[in-house]
Amino acid sequence: MNRSFPRPTILVSSCLGFAPCRYDGGQLYSGIVDMLTGHVNCIDVCPEMEAGFGVPRSSIRLCMDHEKMEVWQPAQLRTVTRELQQAVDSLQTFFEKCDGAILKGKSPSCGLFDVKIYREIENPQFLRRSSGVFGKAVLKAMAGKAVEDEQRLSNLVLREHFFIKLYTWARFRSIAEQGKMGDLISFHAAHKLLFLACSQSRFWQCGRIVANHGKLPSNEVYQLYTEQMGETLKRPARRQAMVNTLYHAHGWVSQHLAPRERAYIVNTIEEYRDERIPLQAVTRLIEAQAIRFDRGYLLNQVLFRPYPPELADLSDSGKGREVQ
Ligand code: SF4
């Protein structure tokens, strides 16, 4: 089945293959960014360059100063909190047009979840991990969108979910620009199985918004749907929920199958449940039956091709399994 895909726009840390802007004048290679460049529009930004810190520059770190977080440049014995925050504020104009972001992990500017925070400016003792200055702003402004650091994307589950969110938001953005209710109804119908697998209760809430019993204007309906969809996609689908969804999809073709064919698909779903085969092995099998019996409802479901198949890569570092 051929499905056309939108071209998402993502925000990327410049040092991940775009510019030698690291403190030491280096730049990094990111396989995931490299793989995505042919499929997405990238907006690369470096908050520290934007702040005028230059290259090479002394490194910075995040320190608590009483209750306040400060950005400290030890070699210069100065705080640069205001300069970095101003740069971050100036980059916010990009957030709205982006469907996701891939930022450099552990960076005091770009890091999302794992940036070291030190106890005091004068006392460089590790306190806890948190977000960097830019990472925090991205997480807040792009809540629910596809936002990850490049290291966590080496984990198969997180990467698949990142792609699912990225392409779902890109599809949604393309219809939200027009704001037509008919498009939203079609969008919701096509994402039914995908959203059901992510969160059954959220899917029904999205449905109530689309039904629009309160006769709200379409821009308000879209706004409510945006918020609810962000919640729906917050976490990857749990395996049990996905298994239930696969059985639901199987129900649309099973009555046409011979007992041995039915048993084969059931067995394949159970292999997926036992983590012996990837999800695509099952969805392709059910999709093949949908094509065979011309089940338009199933063929229209995004679950079967949520993102371009060329992006499917089954390698898994196993790292970062704890989803934020
Ligand atoms: S991590 Fe962010 S601030 Fe640091 S060099 Fe890369 S893009 Fe610039």
Q: What tens digit of pLDDT does each residue of 231-243 get?
A: 999 988 999 999 9
Question: Does the Cβ of 15 fall within 6 Å of ligand 1?
Answer: yes
Written as six digits, the tokens of 208 are 């109530």
The residue among 97, 104, 90 whose CA lies nearest residue 33 is 104
Is residue 151 within 6 Å of ligand 1 at its C-beta?
A: no
Question: What is d(CA 228, CA 237) in angstroms, rounded to the nearest whole number?
Answer: 16
CA triplet 254, 259, 263: central angle to 5 degrees? 80
pLDDT band at 67 (very low <50, low <70, confident <90, very high): confident
Best residue among 10, 12, 14 to mutate for probing ligand 1, ranked by most atoms within 8 Å of CB: 14
Measure 16 CA to ligand 1 centroid, in angstroms. 8
Check if 21 has its Cβ closer than 6 Å to any atom of ligand 1: yes
Å from CA of 48 to ligand 1 middle: 6
Tell me if 22 CB under 6 Å of ligand 1.
yes
pLDDT at residue 215, as a whole number? 96
Instruction: Tell me, using a 6 A CB cutoff, whether residue 107 lines ligand 1.
Output: yes
232 ligand 1 Cβ < 6 A: no
Assigned token pair, 94: 């990009």
For residue 147, the model assigns a pLDDT of 97
Residue 304 corresponds to which amino acid? F
Query: Using a 6 Å cutoff on CB, does residue 110 contact ligand 1?
Result: yes
What would the mean pLDDT of 60-65 be, rounded to a whole number? 95
Cα 46 to middle of ligand 1, angstroms: 5
What CA–CA distance (Å, rounded) separates 10 from 17? Answer: 14
- Report field, pTM of the whole predicted structure over 0.75: yes
**Ligand 1 atom with the shortest distance to the CA of 107:** 1
Which amino acid residue places its CA nearest to atom 6 of ligand 1? 15
The Cα–Cα gap between 143 and 184 comes to: 21
Q: Do the beta carbons of residue 15 and residue 28 sit within 8 Å?
A: yes
Instruction: Please tell me the distance between residue 280's alpha carbon and the centre of ligand 1 in angstroms.
Output: 35
Q: Are strands 68-73 and 146-149 parallel, antiparallel or unpaired?
A: unpaired
pLDDT 10s digits, 143-172: 999 999 999 999 988 999 999 999 999 999
Q: State the SS3 of the chain.
A: CCCCCCCCEEEEECCCCCCCCCCCCCCCCCHHHHHHCCCCEEEEECHHHHCCCCCCCCCCEEEEECCEEEEEEHHHCEECHHHHHHHHHHHHHHHHHCCEEEECCCCCCCCCCCEEEECCCCCCCEEEEECCHHHHHHHHHCCCCEEEECCHHHCHHHHHHHHHHHHHHHHHHHHHCCCCHHHHHHHHHHCHHHHHHHCHHHHHHHHHHHHCCCCCCHHHHHHHHHHHHHHHCCCCCCHHHHHHHHHHHHCCCHHHCCHHHHHHHHHHHHHHHCCCCCHHHHHHHHHHHHHHCCCHHHHCCHHHCCCCHHHCCCCCCCCCCCCC
- The residue with greater pLDDT, 274 or 321, is 274
Does the Cβ of 48 fall within 6 Å of ligand 1? yes
What's the pLDDT tens digit per position in 255-304? Answer: 999 999 999 999 999 999 998 988 889 999 999 999 999 999 999 999 99
Can you tell me the distance from the alpha carbon of 169 to that of 166, in angstroms, rounded to the nearest whole number?
A: 5
Given a cut of 90, whether residue 90 has pLDDT beyond it is yes
What is the per-residue pLDDT for 324? 44
Question: Where does the pLDDT of residue 316 fall: very low under 50, low under 70, confident under 90, or very high at 90 and above?
Answer: low
At 100-133, the pLDDT tens digits run 999 999 999 999 999 999 999 988 899 999 999 9
On average, the pLDDT of the chain sits at: 93
Q: What is the token pair recorded at 309?
A: 């198949």
Nearest ligand 1 atom, CA 110: 2
